[in-house]
Amino acid sequence: MRGWIPHNALLAAYGEIDIALSPFPYNAGVTLLEGLWMGAPCVALSGETFASRHGASHLAAAGLADWATASQESYVARAVAAATDREALCRLRTTLRATLQASALCDAPGFASALGAALEHAARKA
């Protein structure tokens, strides 16, 4: 746990984190994404509200849906399982940025195309 630090120091600090834990009931949003970008996978607990589903949404879009959990017990179990499989964790940490870059989260043209199609569909229905 740390107090406030400049943003560049915050990003560098992810190198000291093996696994990030998204808070609940309000999940991390940008913080989770920054952690993934810096190579720190994150466990999130999904809830019933919009604010409690940020983590699950981001993780699914990044191809990491199995890091989102549905109960406090599974949240703890997922974190423990990830921490005990050091080999898999190391592999994930070294490939996480490339995984994120190749995911829907970083596909601006795909997002623009889907948004355009949705807007055209909405305009036709109006």
| Model confidence, pTM | 0.86
The torsion angles phi and psi of 86, rounded to 5 degrees, stand at -60, -35
7-125 adopts what CATH topology?
Answer: Rossmann fold (3.40.50)
Predicted local confidence at residue 126, as pLDDT: 79
Predicted local confidence at residue 2, as pLDDT: 79
Residue extents of the structural domains in the chain: 7-125
Residue 78: pLDDT over 80:
yes
CA distance 78 to 68: 9
Strand, coil or helix: what is 22? coil
